[in-house]
Amino acid sequence: MDIEPNEKKRQLGGELVIPVLSIVFVGYFFSTIWNSPWTAQVSAFAIGGVLVFVCGIFILRCLLWLREGDGALGFGNLFTREDLASGRIWLFVTTIGYCILIDWLGFTLTTFLFLSISMIILSRGRNAGFILLISAAMSLGGWAVFIWAFDTRFPRGLFETAMKALLPHG
């Protein structure tokens, strides 16, 4: 496809940041599970393998765009005014907040806050009551499966401590 001289090429550098970092994270994650039970290893390799496969397809597509002259390795689209208007910056801030607060608030409360705030940002404030209900259901489901049923080593907070006192095997 020919590009007009005044037409900008697609800036692929910014689009490749997340796939490349995802592949790096998968490599790190794989290196940490060697001593885990084989069932955890199988699950981790299956999920990580799918992520690497999908990222690989996107990287291959970007390489084809570069070869055809439809793209450039620029980072001009990494941060734009659209990021503020679309809420992407606030989603990033929410993600950082989740990572910081999870040790203090615990898995369930932090996950509830993260899901609620993220979905409210993405919906631009519409259906807040429904979003809070869905976030609560998902957070409680995560607690029931990962902490109550399987006793994983997720960070415990006020909610997890209260449930442990109230429920058998909690």
Amino acid at 21: L
CA distances from 8 to 5, 83, 163 (A): 8, 19, 56
Alpha-carbon distance of 61 to 53, in angstroms, equals 12
What percent of the chain lies above the pLDDT cut of 90? 41
Q: Tell me: the pLDDT tens digits for 61-99?
A: 999 999 999 988 888 777 777 766 777 888 889 999 999
**Spatial contact of 71 and 8, defined as CB atoms under 8 Å apart:** no
